[in-house]
Structure 1
Amino acid sequence: MTHSFVLGIQDAVLEPEPLDPEQIVSGRPEVTGKVVWESPDGRQLRGIWQITPGVVTDTEADEMFVVVSGSATVEVKNGPTLTVGPGDMAVLRAGDETVWTVHETLRKAYVINL
């Protein structure tokens, strides 16, 4: 059974999540994260994710996130270019091919549906 809880996003200790070297376009970005809740079927995730400056590619899941700190530009192939910073909420669609240019270490809280 899952209980209600509070977690300080800014101070949460995150675990390394190594990037596939093929995703790195430039720089030496490092990713850390923490899943704080997962549905019993594993199809819904809630968590915190952080990436240091650099440029990476990704194929997105159905995700809504809120940036807590840092900034990035997210280019969606055949779609918009999103500029995100503290307090911004963004929505990415499953299958979106993206290029993330991280200007300042970015930390976000997310909700993912697989």
Structure 2
Amino acid sequence: MTRVVRLADVEVPVAPLPTADVVRGAPAAGSVALATVGEAEVGVWRMTVGVARDVEVDEAFVVLAGRATIRLGDDESIDVSAGDLVTLRAGERTEWTVHEDLTKVYVA
């Protein structure tokens, strides 16, 4: 088991998102699982500039780089950038507007 992972060295390959999920632009995304803690997966996720919809899982994440606005349902938007800790609930419908390529480390 690897105890230390240099997040700056983790390469996260991205692929275009499904057309049905894309609102604007040509965003791509991808993730790399790094570890399991109990039942939770820990990994790194990346999305390029654009706007896309998603349905969330229970997750906490820390933004490592980039900027985005996440619209939660129809009534709340949050702006996130490097250093922010965010929690999402399973089943939440979100819309991600990525202003600068976003990289996050997640626990889900």
User: TM-score, length-normalised on structure 1?
Assistant: 0.86
How far, CA to CA, are the matches of 2:89 and 2:75 in structure 1? 11
Match of 1:27 in 2: 25
| Structure 1 residues 21 and 7: CA distance shift in structure 2, 3 A | same
Question: For 1:27-55, what per-residue CA distance to the aligned partner results, in whole angstroms no more than 9, with x for missing partners?
Answer: 01111210112368xx5211000000000
The alignment's C-alpha RMSD in Å is 1.7
- Long gaps (5+) in structure 2: none
Paired-residue identity, % = 36
Write out the 4+ residue segments of structure 1 that deviate beyond 4 Å after TM superposition: none
User: TM-score, length-normalised on structure 2?
Assistant: 0.90
How far, CA to CA, are the matches of 2:7 and 2:19 in structure 1? 27
Match of 2:73 in 1: 77
Shift of 1:10: 2.3
The answer on whether the counterparts of 1:67 and 1:108 sit within 8 Å (CA) in structure 2 is yes
Pick from 44, 47, 51 the counterpart of residue 51 of structure 1.
47
More moved, 97-106 vs 77-86: 77-86
- Long gaps (5+) in structure 1: none
How far, CA to CA, are the matches of 1:10 and 1:80 in structure 2? 31
